[in-house]
Every structure is written in C-alpha cells, then in structure tokens.
Amino acid sequence: DGGITQSPKYLFRKEGQNVTLSCEQNLNHDAMYWYRQDPGQGLRLIYYSQIVNDFQKGDIAEGYSVSREKKESFPLTVTSAQKNPTAFYLCASSSIQGGPYEQYFGPGTRLTVT
Amino acid sequence: GESVGLHLPTLSVQEGDNSIINCAYSNSASDYFIWYKQESGKGPQFIIDIRSNMDKRQGQRVTVLLNKTVKHLSLQIAATQPGDSAVYFCAENIFDKLIFGTGTRLQVFP
C-alpha cells in the first residue's frame, strides 16, 4: 500500500530533551512538510522540503530542525529550545511537478513534554 | 482521541440534511484550494479541490464553490451522514505552500 507513515503515535519526553519524530512516504513525492496543530487552531507550517538535501523554514521554525537525506524520509527534531513543544505534529507529502496538488497527511504524532 | 478544535465554530445538522461549510481566504493570488476532513486523533483527509480558474467542482456527495470576487470558498455536503462528523478545514495554496483555516466542526445528529 502506498502511503505516509509517522511514528510513534504518542511520545512523551521530559523538558530539556531533544526528540525526533519520524516521517516516511512511499508515494514517490518530491515535497514533504511538517505541521504543528494546537487545539482550536489550524495547521501551522514548521518546515518543508521540495528536494533531497534542501529544506526551507515555514512560519514557526524556531526550536525545530529537519533533514532530508532521502526522498522517502523527512524527520523532525523538536529541540529543547522550543518553548511550547506539546502539540500534535503532522507530516505531509505531495507531488509538485505540474502542480499544485493536494498534500497527503500521515496519522500524526502526539508529543507531550512535561 | 486527539482534542482537535476545542473552540471551533460548530455546524449542527440533522442526518439526511445538506450541510454548507464556509471559508474566507486571505490572498487574492491563491491559485488552488482544498477541503480536508479531520476526524479526532487522525491526520487530515483530502475531500475535494478546486483551481482558481473554476467556480464550481463536484465530487461524490460534495460540491465546492469558489467566489474569487469576495474571496470565499464553500463546501456543500449532500445528505449528511453520521460518518461526516468531523472538523473540516479549507486551505489555500500560494507560492507552493498551503495556508489552513482554523476549521469548522460538523456535528450530525439523528
């Protein structure tokens, strides 16, 4: 089955620790995205990548970092510099050639930092 | 499940009625629009899209209307079913990035 996967579904960390969220897609999409979702708000873009080894900051990149070493993978690290890291994190991917096209979303990772 | 949209505007409809969810978008340069459905604890699911050179697009039980003059997008769901209960987001594409609205919660009662 083609799709986009995120792991784990729930993640708990202590304040001051970095944590990495996984995102993998087998849709052969060039572009991948990370969003953050808080209650009562829409999705806010953290980082995105349109090609391997390149990525751009979104609207709320502070305290986060990403890498894009493979087309299929776009892990997100939530660093200790992120002041309010508890949130629902969503990864998405899309084709971009000849687009724009819809973004396909993974199931999300709920991160709780205490 | 995930507590998405605790304070969202809510539309309550009776099963079998038609639903209309509205969205105002911000940028006249946006060239592509999408409606997503998000159930509690899950990622958004694509429903229907429309490009800026169109006014209307129909899918199975859903219709999207685009009014570029007033920058307004609507999603119409025919014969609403209990499985349609979810939070619905509109998104506008500008410069290869999607900007999401805050969402509307649709509640379907028997």
pLDDT in tens, A19-30: 999 999 999 999
pLDDT at B89: 95
Q: What percentage of chain B reaches a pLDDT higher than 70?
A: 94
Please check whether residue A88 touches B, CB under 8 A: yes
Stronger pLDDT, A13 or B5, i.e. the higher one: A13
- Under the banding of pLDDT at 50, 70 and 90, the label for residue B2 is very low
Whether residue B4 has pLDDT greater than 90 = no
Closest chain B residue to the Cα of A41, Cα to Cα:
B102
- Can you tell me the distance from the alpha carbon of A96 to that of A30, in angstroms, rounded to the nearest whole number? 7
Average pLDDT over residues B66-78: 96
Q: What is the pLDDT of residue B3?
A: 36
- Beta-carbon count within 10 A of B16 CB: 11
- Write the pLDDT tens digit of every residue in A38-59: 987 889 999 999 999 999 999 9
Q: Does B7 touch chain A (CB under 8 A)?
A: yes
- Within an 8 Å CB–CB cutoff, is residue A11 touching chain B? no
Tell me the chain A residues in contact with residue B7 when contact means C-beta distances shorter than 8 Å.
39-40
CB atoms within 10 A of CB B27: 12
Band of residue B60 on the pLDDT scale cut at 50, 70, 90: very high
Mean pLDDT computed over B58-75: 96
Residue B47, pLDDT above cutoff 70: yes
**A99 or B64: which carries more pLDDT confidence?**
B64
For testing contact with chain B, the best of A21, A23, A34, A37 (most B CBs within 10 A): A37
Of the partner residues B2, B41, B46, the one whose CB lies closest to the CB of residue A102: B46
Q: Nearest CB to A40: which of B5, B41, B101?
A: B5
Q: Which of A74, A40, A43 minimizes the C-alpha distance to A60?
A: A43
Band of the pLDDT at B80, cuts 50, 70, 90?
A: very high
pLDDT of residue A74: 98
Beta strand residue intervals within chain B, DSSP E: 10-14, 19-24, 32-38, 45-51, 56-58, 62-67, 72-77, 86-94, 97-100, 104-109
- Terminal-residue alpha carbon distance, chain B: 22
Quote the pLDDT of residue A68: 98
- pLDDT surpassing 60 at residue B107: yes
Q: Does B95 touch chain A (CB under 8 A)?
A: no
The shortest CB-CB distance from A42 to any of B3, B7, B101 is to B101
Closest CA relative to residue A74, chosen from A83, A65, A85, A63:
A65
Are B97 and A41 within 8 A, CB to CB? no
pLDDT in tens, A63-105: 999 999 999 999 999 999 999 999 999 999 999 887 788 999 9
Residue A59 to residue B31: CA distance in whole angstroms: 20
What is the distance in angstroms between the Cα of A2 and the nearest Cα belonging to chain B?
A: 15
What distance in Å separates the CA atoms of residue B3 and residue B57, rounded to the nearest whole number?
31
- Write phi, then psi, for B83 (nearest 5 degrees): -70, -10
Q: If you count residue pairs, one on A and one on B, with CB atoms under 8 Å apart, how many are there?
A: 61
